[in-house]
Amino acid sequence: MTTVNISGISTSQLLDDYRLSLEAMNRSKKTIAWYLEILDKYFTFLSLNSLLKPIDQMGSQELKAYILYLQNVHRWANCQHIRKITGKLSPHSIQGHVRAIKAFWSWLKKEGYIANNALALFPLPRAPDKPMNVFSLEQIRKLLTCIDRLTPRGVKYYTIILLLLDTGIRISELVHLKLEDLDLPHNCLRVMGKGQKHRVVPVSYLTRREITRYLTNIRPGLCSFQSPYLFPTPMGTPISINSVQQALRRLAKTAGLKGIRCSPHTFRHTFATLSIVRGANLFVLKEILGHSSLVTTMRYSHLQPEDIQVQHSKFSPVAFTFGMNLPETT
């Protein structure tokens, strides 16, 4: 990014100050890197197109120009290590860029770098609703059945899948689970979530049984070092997110799953959706998933029409009062 002096403060200094502010708010390293990468791209675009002005003079016109650019740029266009360039950025990705830029401008106003936030009322670009598919019970059975539980690797990933499906925890939370986080006598885990917040997550008896089997028979042979992690590598470090993602993709191919992405996040959505179908309290589910807002919890559930019909039959005043026998009209 070209460093430009804006009202006595360079863009690089502004981003450094923003990074420190995000760190002080306990934002994750991944989140901070995401914000800074987007802002770096934004200021670079403005500089290359002679649109960069003093920060208090920039607003909607510059952002509109950037959105038009994003709508036509190809994914991975500037990535040297990726040869295949296909498709354009999705509306959701573009919306994410605008969110990050608007958040930065709000911070500039809060910190006194600008007197007025010119982007406060700037609308987010519309993005179509894109509900994530969830696993059917049959797909879950196929996935678990294709795992060879006579091998150490099979037992490990059988346990991982049960944990993801039974608790709805994030993959980043799962890979960093430590032995001290287990409270198996009370059927629960202590999870470190976003913002360094701890929460207690219950586990079922069946999942506890598989964790115990894994701890007793498999884990001692996985790592020759003293490791605090539940799922360690041979060197004692936590298993990587990428390794779990790849393993799940291979298992899905072996199981012959079609039309659904077999990812850790799909298990999280499946847990949320099936929990609601079975009558879970949304407030309890919010705490289990580690959401800061009930709105987020509701977005995680993707009920099918037949599920909605079943639930409607339980709370409909007509169905509850009359059942199948409506009074005859005269």
Same domain assignment for residues 174 and 278:
yes
Same domain assignment for residues 250 and 175:
yes
pLDDT, position 325: 54
pLDDT band at 2 (very low <50, low <70, confident <90, very high): very low
pLDDT, position 181: 95
Q: In this structure, is residue 222 part of a structural domain?
A: yes
| CATH number, position 58 | 1.10.150.130
pLDDT band at 311 (very low <50, low <70, confident <90, very high): low
pLDDT, position 50: 93
> What CA–CA distance (Å, rounded) separates 308 from 304?
6
Q: In this structure, is residue 31 part of a structural domain?
A: yes
pLDDT at 186 over 80: yes
pLDDT at 6 over 90: no
Same domain assignment for residues 158 and 298:
yes
pLDDT band at 328 (very low <50, low <70, confident <90, very high): low
CB-based contacts of 183, cutoff 8 Å, min separation 6: 189, 190, 200
Count CB neighbours of 220 within 10 A.
9
Same domain assignment for residues 159 and 273:
yes
pLDDT at 253 over 60: yes
Same domain assignment for residues 185 and 291:
yes
Write the CA distances from 39 to 48, 52, 63, 222, integer angstroms. 14, 13, 12, 42
| CATH number, position 277 | 1.10.443.10
- pTM score of the predicted model: 0.71
In tens, the pLDDT along 167-179 reads 999 999 999 999 9
Same domain assignment for residues 98 and 148:
no
Q: In this structure, is residue 265 part of a structural domain?
A: yes
Same domain assignment for residues 60 and 157:
no
Same domain assignment for residues 87 and 221:
no
Domain that holds residue 103: 5-110
CB-based contacts of 25, cutoff 8 Å, min separation 6: none
pLDDT at 329 over 80: no
pLDDT, position 128: 77
Same domain assignment for residues 34 and 175:
no
Q: In this structure, is residue 142 part of a structural domain?
A: yes
pLDDT at 237 over 60: yes
pLDDT, position 310: 63
pLDDT, position 97: 96
pLDDT at 248 over 80: yes
pLDDT band at 327 (very low <50, low <70, confident <90, very high): low
pLDDT, position 279: 80
Same domain assignment for residues 52 and 177:
no
pLDDT band at 208 (very low <50, low <70, confident <90, very high): very high
Rg (CA), the chain: 25
In tens, the pLDDT along 256-288 reads 998 899 999 999 989 988 888 788 888 888 888
Q: In the chain, what percentage of residues exceed pLDDT 70?
A: 83
Mean pLDDT of the chain: 85
CB-based contacts of 265, cutoff 8 Å, min separation 6: 132, 170, 171
> What CA–CA distance (Å, rounded) separates 225 from 237?
9
Q: How many domains are there within the chain?
A: 2
In tens, the pLDDT along 108-137 reads 999 999 999 999 999 998 877 666 688 999
User: What strands lie across the sheet with 198-202, from one edge to the other?
Assistant: 182-183, 188-192, 198-202
Same domain assignment for residues 190 and 298:
yes
pLDDT band at 298 (very low <50, low <70, confident <90, very high): confident
Q: In this structure, is residue 324 part of a structural domain?
A: no
Q: In this structure, is residue 193 part of a structural domain?
A: yes
Same domain assignment for residues 224 and 290:
yes
> What integer is the mean pLDDT of 292-305?
68
Q: In the chain, what percentage of residues exceed pLDDT 90?
A: 58
In tens, the pLDDT along 71-116 reads 998 765 555 444 455 578 888 899 999 999 999 999 999 999 999 9
Q: In this structure, is residue 118 part of a structural domain?
A: no
pLDDT at 1 over 70: no
Active site residues: 170, 194, 265, 268, 291, 300
Beta partners for 238?
A: 232
Q: In this structure, is residue 123 part of a structural domain?
A: no
